Amino acid sequence: ELTDAYGVQDDAERKLAAAARNNPYLNGAAVTGLTAYASELQNVSRFGDEVIIDQQSFLAALGQTEETIRNVTLAAVEFASTGQVNLETAFRQMNQTLSGSTGRLGLMIPALKELTEEELKAGEGLQVIIDQFKGMKEASVEGFAGMKIQMKNTFGDIKEDIGEVFAELFDV
């Protein structure tokens, strides 16, 4: 179980690094920064950093910049923290706005319909979402259920750290 937890984290980080190698806008420092940002968000949300990093790797593979990936990540985490969509769906919907389309988000968030295609492509839709749902990630972990998830994430990190040691010892 310990090496499994480490394996999930390691796979996510390796996918991000591989995507970054194929992305002219990202380098090793960006990968380190995005991984650290995912950990920061894990500390204030319901989502494990390995799940966030996995989604960031998709954006990196699409050729997004580090700043754009950070903005999509924050918007997706805030929006998914409402419980209306899962994190993967939120990431895909946020990324869709960068193509100039609001899709289903436009039905849920009327303010997005007020933006032009060019404004959406420039990332202004992400800022609308970040502003509208600001604080949802923190609110989602304030109650008992949220605290349990936070404890689970913390324990998961401990399992990953111990699993990494075992993986290195046994060359797994």
Residue whose C-alpha is closest to residue 26's, from 74, 75, 67 = 67
pTM of structure:
0.86
Tell me the residue length of the chain. Answer: 172
Helix, strand, coil tally for the chain in percent (to 5): 75, 0, 25
Give me the pLDDT at residue 120, please.
Answer: 97
In the chain (172 residues long), the average pLDDT of successive 10-residue segments reads 76 94 96 97 94 97 97 98 96 96 93 96 97 92 78 71 74 64
DSSP states of 5-31 as a string? HHHHHHHHHHHHHHHHHT-TT--HHHH
The three-state secondary structure class of 89 is: helix
Predicted local distance difference test score (pLDDT) of residue 172: 59
pLDDT at 155 (0 to 100):
64
Q: What is the pLDDT of residue 17?
A: 96
CA-CA distance, 13 to 11, in Å (whole number)?
5
Question: Amino acid identity of 136?
Answer: M
What single letter denotes the amino acid at residue 84?
Q
Res 145: pLDDT: 77
Backbone angles phi, psi at 115, to 5 degrees: -90, 145
pLDDT value at residue 160:
67
